Structure 1
C-alpha cells in the first residue's frame, strides 16, 4: 500500500495564501508557521496537498504492513477549522488538553476555530511532548 501523504517541495507560504479560506485563517496560518518553526527548530515542509509538517519520523504499523514517514507535528488551515497535528497520546497530554482552551478532537487531530481560542503556552507544551514521545519511540531522523 502506497502512502498518499508524502513530503513535497511545494511552497508552504504559497499554500497558506491560496488555501486559507478567510483572512483570519490566513493570519492564524502564518502565526502557526512562525510559532512551530521557532518552537521545533524544524523548517516547515508540505506533506501531501494540505498539511504543513515540521520534522519527520519513520513508523511501522503494529497492526498492518504499512510503514512510512510522517511529520512530527503539523497543521492545516482548513475551511472549517485549523487542524493541529500535535497530539500523540504522550504521557501528560490528556492533562494538557484540559488546559488548552476551546477545541474539538478528531482521531489524533485537534480542531481549533481560531488561535485566540487556545492557550499558546499549552500548545507549545503539547508540541514538545509529542516530538519527545515520537523521537523516543521511533528514533530521531
Structure 2
C-alpha cells in the first residue's frame, strides 16, 4: 500500500500569516475559530490544509489512512472547506436542507467551495461542520 503523503505538521499561524490577500487571511482566522469551537480541537497544518481533530479510516477495499475531522484550505480562487462527514447517507437530507440556506457556494461530494465567508451564513456553516464532526466520530471514533 502506498504511503500517505499528506501528514500533520507545520506552523498554522505562519501559514495563515503568509496568505497574501488580507480578506482571505481574515476569513481563514474566522474559520479557525469556528472549527476549533465545533471540534474542540486545535488547528493542525496538513500540507496546505488546516485540519481539526483526527481519525483513522479503513475501507472495505483495504485502503486506509488518516485525516482530520473538519478543515479548510485557502486556495487562490476560493476556500475549500472539508466536510467529509456530511457525505454519509444518514445526514444527506439535513445537509441538503442546510446547503439550501447557506448562501453562495458550490458543493462537491464532501467539499464545500466558497469565495468569501461574507457570501455565506456562518451559523449554517457551523451546523454543517457540526454534522460532519459528529458523523465522523460516530463512524470512526477519534485518536
TM-score w.r.t. length of structure 1: 0.90
Corresponding residue number in structure 1 for 2:74: 77
Contact 2:79 2:113 (C-alpha < 8 Å) held by counterparts = yes
Q: Distance in 1 between matches of 2:39 and 2:138?
A: 15
How far did residue 86 of structure 1 move? 2.0
* CA RMSD after TM alignment: 1.4
Give the secondary-structure state (helix, strand or coil) at the position aligned to 1:7: coil
Q: Which has the higher helix share?
A: 2
TM-score w.r.t. length of structure 2: 0.89
How far did residue 66 of structure 1 move? 1.7
The answer to whether residue 11 in structure 2 is matched with residue 14 in structure 1 is no
Runs of 4+ in 1 over 6 A off after TM superposition: none
* Residues 116-131 of structure 1 mapped to structure 2, 5 A cutoff: 116-131=118-133
Deviations for 1:32-70, whole angstroms, at most 9, x for unmatched residues? 1122112321000011x20000001110123x3321110
| Length, aligned pairs only | 137
Unaligned regions of 5+ residues in structure 2, if any?
none
The answer to whether residue 117 in structure 2 is matched with residue 115 in structure 1 is yes
